[in-house]
Structure 1
Amino acid sequence: MTTRTNPTPPAGTSAGRARRHAGRPRVPAAPRGAAARGRTLAAAFDSRHNALDVLRLALALTVAVVHTMYLGLGHQPQAGSTDVGSLAVDGFFVLSGFLVARSWLRLGSLRRFLWHRALRILPAFYVSLALTALVVAPLLAVLSGRSATSVFSGPDSAVGYVTRNAGLLMRQFGIAGLGDDGSGSVVNGSLWTLFFEAACYGIVAGLGVLGVLARRRWVVPALLVLLWALTVSATAGYNPVGSELMLRFAFIFLLGVAGHLYADRLPLSLPLAALAVALVAAGLALLPDYRALGGPAFAYAFLYAVVRLPLRWRPRWDLSYGVYVWHWPIALTLATAGLAGAVGPVFVPLSLAVTAVVAALSWRVVEAPALSLKNAAWVTAGRVRRP
């Protein structure tokens, strides 16, 4: 969900390009016949012309629309047993798994891998925590008829919001009772997924250190079979894992990882994509957790969309993460100010417009400068240079 780098080009390049990219990990080579016709993910994928950036931004906007409708209008759209926002988050995890697997294989270093992932997820997260505590919470208090300083005292203070959530695991969702809709005080209901994404990064790092991603790729399908079986079991009422959320995200994320590792063997066809969509729809209609039936199909549909959708826009500014991190407190502030009732149907586009501005500032001031430190001297020290 949070990395912008596209995977390395699949096989099928000319000899000159092969020499320029010698020694670099890449999506496994497809058979010549399949490559010529683009029948596999590896053959069809072009690192410069794909729908990854557009899909990620569309998923972030989907989550933002769903949450804004909930905060301003009191309801959110459902797709059978699952809300649409959850489906969008699952899509993020599929694409993130695909990209993060590539990141490990490209970097080949635990230190560099963890540094790159930390730079992508943590700076904007910490800025969000700080500004929510120091700016958004006092503003919400004033709009609610309270003193701005009231948020800095009490058991759920603004200070506690920063310190208790600094480890990425959201242990305090509210600040001084602000934003309470009857089910609890929540000043940013989007940040909780970031802990699980970071945990999935840890899974990839562990598999990489053990050599699974480079040499023993069969371990990943074995893990997926196990996770799928556990998902079916949890849907039937018995979850030996305990954490339904960790099971959900690990399963979906590793499906994206497998898509990268087996890109040379993953066939692409419109009938298969249509069947995948049908399986997902059936899971949504028939089961409390669609992933028990349609988890792999969901991942396939997204990977198919990456290479088959005619969307090739690659924006210079990546707003997807900023939109995801900031839309909730912005919509909550506007709703608390009474704009949801005042502007009615245009509340959602108004909130999204403000969110887009803040997301642009987040990219320009926080995220892009942080990402420029990816190749800092201390993290690349001792790196073996390839000829």
Structure 2
Amino acid sequence: MSQLKYESRENSFGFLRLLFASLVILSHTPEIYDGNRNREILTNIFGSISFGELAVDGFFLISGYLISASYLKTQSPVSFLKKRIFRIYPAFAASYLICDLVVAPLGGGDVAVTPQHVLSLAARILLLQPPMSTTAFHGTYYPDLNGAMWTIPYEFRCYLLILALGLLGFFNRKRVILITAISFLVLSCIIPEHYHPFGYEAALAQTQAHSFWDRIFNLTVGEPRSTIRFVGVFLCGSTYQIYKDRISFDKKWTAAFSAAALVTFLFEPRTANLAVAIFGGYLVIAISNLGKQYVTCKINSENDISYGVYLYAWPAAKLILWYRPDMNIVLVGMLTLISAVIMGTVSWHLLEKPIMHKIQRKAPSNPAVIA
């Protein structure tokens, strides 16, 4: 078995993350444009999940793999938590403020910077909740300021889960993590369908009778089915990490089998998520392990703009369609991608990269595993 390349910059994780961010744009563009999935490519092919859902699962697989490695290599729980906070919050907060103070008024919304608004804004950023506006993009499909942000709190909760598992000593009991991952993946296949693709606000709008404690549960734990799904996928990535020395990721026949199994199970909605986690997870790690001779190891490697692309694509698409609702859908997607890449590049160089460098200088760690 070849040495895994995650130990250095000679991997394709950056390429995969940028690919997944681009697939989210490919998926969201027709949904925002039409208000449905009638023109969503992957849904039309398999009748199960969209490119957006597949891409988000891909993000969680990579995070599970790398964040587990980060925990195992970090000297203290405090250092681990600090790195995770500074990786997620600064870019999220900046995007939130831009959506609230710039995108909302450009989208026809009202912005009243009152003490109450500021307190609400601070609380929502702290809880990693998407920005809200009841007036922006009025009359359009999915009038959210940033409908893609809903997955961010789930990812951060998975970081906290890794910290908890580590403190409880479960990384020394690999089977516990393996069994937990499988259990959550199986649960995600069998529990009733109650999935809201554009987040907490959409779910809450349909359940206004929720009690105070129900709301607290949703804010801290999340929508149950989404939580089960993401924890299962994330821990699948963690499982691949802790068993990496016993799995060959460079076997072509295994990759071919995984690809065939993935395609087969994608035709069944209830097994699609499990297939993406297990078989897609193997393919993700196998692709990431490609050597430096492959161009994928150079794309988005030194400067990872994928987080910013993910954060800014939705508001870019909404603004484009707000001002040009009759624009060709392909052009909308292309302009969204270009805008998101520009904003992602700015976010990386002005915010994310400088902060990461400061954290690394204070607490030396392998940059390849700071996801």
Fold equivalence (TM over 0.5): yes
**1:244 and 2:201 are equivalent in the alignment:** no
Q: Which residue of 2 aligns with 1:217?
A: 174
Match of 2:326 among 313, 318, 341: 341
Higher alpha-carbon deviation: 248-257 or 277-286: 277-286
Q: Which residue of 1 aligns with 2:337?
A: 352
Distance change (3 Å), C-alpha of 1:371 and 1:158: same
Structure-1 separation of matches of 2:88 and 2:229: 20
Residue type at the aligned position of 1:54: F
**1:274 and 2:256 are equivalent in the alignment:** yes
TM-score by length of 1: 0.76
Deviation string for 1:331-374 (max 9, x for gaps)?
A: 11111011x52455322212211221111111111112221331
Q: Tell me the secondary structure at the aligned position of residue 188 of structure 1.
A: coil
Which structure dedicates a bigger proportion of its chain to helix? Answer: 2
Runs (5+) with no aligned partner, structure 1: 1-33, 142-147, 381-387
Equivalence map 1:1-387=2 (5 Å): 34=1, 38=2, 42=3, 47-72=8-33, 75-77=39-41, 78=43, 79-141=46-108, 150-152=110-112, 162-170=121-129, 174-180=132-138, 184-213=142-171, 215-234=172-191, 243-268=224-249, 269-292=251-274, 295-308=277-290, 310=294, 311-313=296-298, 315-338=301-324, 340-342=325-327, 345-375=330-360
Distance change (3 Å), C-alpha of 1:299 and 1:217: same
Q: Tell me the secondary structure at the aligned position of residue 187 of structure 1.
A: coil
Structure-2 separation of matches of 1:152 and 1:376: 40
Structure-2 separation of matches of 1:160 and 1:222: 42
Runs (5+) with no aligned partner, structure 2: 195-221, 365-371
Structure-1 separation of matches of 2:227 and 2:335: 34
TM-superposed CA distance for 1:301, in Å, is: 1.7
Q: Tell me the secondary structure at the aligned position of residue 179 of structure 1.
A: coil
TM-superposed CA distance for 1:281, in Å, is: 2.0
Are the counterparts in 1 of residues 26 and 51 from structure 2 also a CA contact under 8 Å?
A: no
Deviation string for 1:245-278 (max 9, x for gaps)?
A: 0110011111111111111111232222222222
Structure-2 separation of matches of 1:119 and 1:255: 24
Are the counterparts in 1 of residues 181 and 232 from structure 2 also a CA contact under 8 Å?
A: yes
Distance change (3 Å), C-alpha of 1:242 and 1:160: closer
Are the counterparts in 2 of residues 62 and 88 from structure 1 also a CA contact under 8 Å?
A: yes
Q: Which residue of 1 aligns with 2:205?
A: none
TM-superposed CA distance for 1:60, in Å, is: 0.9
Q: Which residue of 2 aligns with 1:24?
A: none
Deviation string for 1:276-310 (max 9, x for gaps)?
A: 22222222212335124553112112112211483
Structure-1 separation of matches of 2:120 and 2:28: 21
Structure-1 separation of matches of 2:70 and 2:308: 21
Q: Tell me the secondary structure at the aligned position of residue 317 of structure 1.
A: coil
TM-superposed CA distance for 1:203, in Å, is: 0.9
TM-superposed CA distance for 1:375, in Å, is: 4.5
TM-superposed CA distance for 1:327, in Å, is: 0.7
Distance change (3 Å), C-alpha of 1:360 and 1:370: same
Structure-2 separation of matches of 1:369 and 1:266: 36
Structure-2 separation of matches of 1:290 and 1:277: 13
Q: Which residue of 1 aligns with 2:219?
A: none
Are the counterparts in 1 of residues 99 and 315 from structure 2 also a CA contact under 8 Å?
A: yes
Are the counterparts in 2 of residues 220 and 254 from structure 1 also a CA contact under 8 Å?
A: yes
Greater C-alpha Rg: 1
Q: Tell me the secondary structure at the aligned position of residue 247 of structure 1.
A: helix
Structure-2 separation of matches of 1:66 and 1:90: 14
Residue type at the aligned position of 1:296: I
Distance change (3 Å), C-alpha of 1:232 and 1:69: closer
Q: Tell me the secondary structure at the aligned position of residue 78 of structure 2.
A: helix
TM-superposed CA distance for 1:161, in Å, is: 6.5
> Which gives a bigger RCO, structure 1 or 2 (Cα 8 Å, sep 6+)?
2
Structure-2 separation of matches of 1:68 and 1:236: 24
TM-superposed CA distance for 1:227, in Å, is: 1.9
Q: CA RMSD in A?
A: 2.8
Q: Tell me the secondary structure at the aligned position of residue 264 of structure 1.
A: helix
Residue type at the aligned position of 1:52: F
Q: Tell me the secondary structure at the aligned position of residue 341 of structure 1.
A: coil
Structure-2 separation of matches of 1:335 and 1:375: 40
Are the counterparts in 1 of residues 91 and 351 from structure 2 also a CA contact under 8 Å?
A: yes
Are the counterparts in 2 of residues 189 and 328 from structure 1 also a CA contact under 8 Å?
A: yes
Residue type at the aligned position of 1:114: L
Distance change (3 Å), C-alpha of 1:319 and 1:181: farther
Residue type at the aligned position of 1:76: E
Are the counterparts in 1 of residues 185 and 232 from structure 2 also a CA contact under 8 Å?
A: yes
TM-score by length of 2: 0.79
Structure-2 separation of matches of 1:101 and 1:119: 17
Are the counterparts in 1 of residues 146 and 315 from structure 2 also a CA contact under 8 Å?
A: yes
